[in-house]
Chain A
Amino acid sequence: MGSKTVQDILYLQASTTSPTSEVVGMRIIENGEISDGPHDPDDWPYQTVLEAVRDGWRVIKFPELALMLDDSRTFGLGFEFILEREGRL
């Protein structure tokens, strides 16, 4: 194990603001490396935000609800949760 502590980041876009809703998009920064994760959504490491939390990830940003104020115009991609945990290099 390395000696340098780094922040791992997990972007999860969910289908609703609920942490139990289906994840529709992901990207991960782990040990300083960016990855889109597996090609097949069924193989993504977490199917819900709750699964990620149960695996030790901590939510550091909840979905930006201001984006939903104009529901005829602005959508973005799902409801984005950003999570972190401690990694090592």
Chain B
Amino acid sequence: MRQYDCEPTLNDTEVLEFCKNGFMMFEGVVSDEINRRTNEYLDEHDGMEPTDILDEDWFMDGVIKHPAVAGALRSLLGKDFGLPNLVSNHRIQCPQPAQEWHYDGGDIFGPQLNYIQVFYYPQDCPRELGPTELLPGSHFLYSERDMTKHLGRIRGSYHAVSPAGSIFLTDYSIWHRRSESWGSGLRNNVKYNYWRTSPPTRDWVIDPGFDPATADYTFHGPTFRKQFQDCYDAAEMYFWLRGEHDKFELIGGQGWPIPGNRNDVPYGVPEGIGR
């Protein structure tokens, strides 16, 4: 198992944003040269699992260990995170109908974040080439996987339209699908996972102005859950990432962590939580 370490780049607010949304986009971060070499490689190795690309130093350095992305992964997965050992390529010839909504098999729903699923577009992926469609916040939306297959358009979905060289990180549980395409040509979408190898702890970039007692845990979009469940879920995941899941406790009512125009800190802030 190959591991990697680097400096974390996300601060508390950004970590919490990942908790709330379940994904994070890095647009156009990979160089044109690496994108070109990747596309050439995938033309020559056009199978569904071109894992041998991980043996290419230029791919490892230019994509897998890209500083911006690796820094975010280091923030979310901790030190010495595990590098991918399996690569899939969702390569399609457009146009294609939309895929069925799903989350990938092997999922375990919950606040834990022990692996992150990543997608990389080595070419531009406009809407007409069927970018991945994600349902923000759905990593908390447990439903039997096979009960999502008849769903179609969903309010609040996000199309990962992005330029070549874009990489996005996702919570493995997030609902997604290939959106419909009406353009023509080949579209590669390279997918791989990173793994946690160390216990969660708050060793990302500390934001001195961030206060867990008053932070905004609200998901701003359709949540498809009961009111304020989005706050509960995001707060629990954030605490898990801090390594303080044992301190996470809810008193309900108008207490922490739901939003409100209070004149004091909320009731029910877990004890022993530092800023």
Contact = CB atoms under 8 A, between A and B. Distances in A.
B215 interface: no
B151 A27 contact: yes
Contacts of B150: 11, 27
- How many residues of A sit at the interface, in one of the four size bands? 20 to 34
Nearest to A37: B153
A54 interface: no
B153 A25 contact: yes
A3 interface: no
A25 B154 contact: yes
Interface stretch (B3-11, B51-59, B219-227): B219-227
A75 B156 CA distance: 17
A25 to B, nearest CB: 4
A21 to B, nearest CB: 12
B142 interface: yes
B152 A71 contact: no
Given A24-B156, A75-B224, A36 B98 contact: yes
A28 B98 CA distance: 14
Given A24-B224, A36-B98, A71-B226, A77 B152 contact: no
24 contacts: A11-B150, A15-B222, A15-B224, A22-B155, A23-B155, A24-B155, A25-B151, A25-B153, A25-B154, A25-B155, A26-B153, A27-B151, A27-B152, A34-B152, A35-B152, A36-B152, A36-B153, A37-B152, A37-B153, A41-B155, A71-B226, A74-B142, A76-B224, A77-B151
Minimum-distance CB pairs A-B, first 5: A27-B152, A36-B152, A25-B154, A76-B143, A24-B155
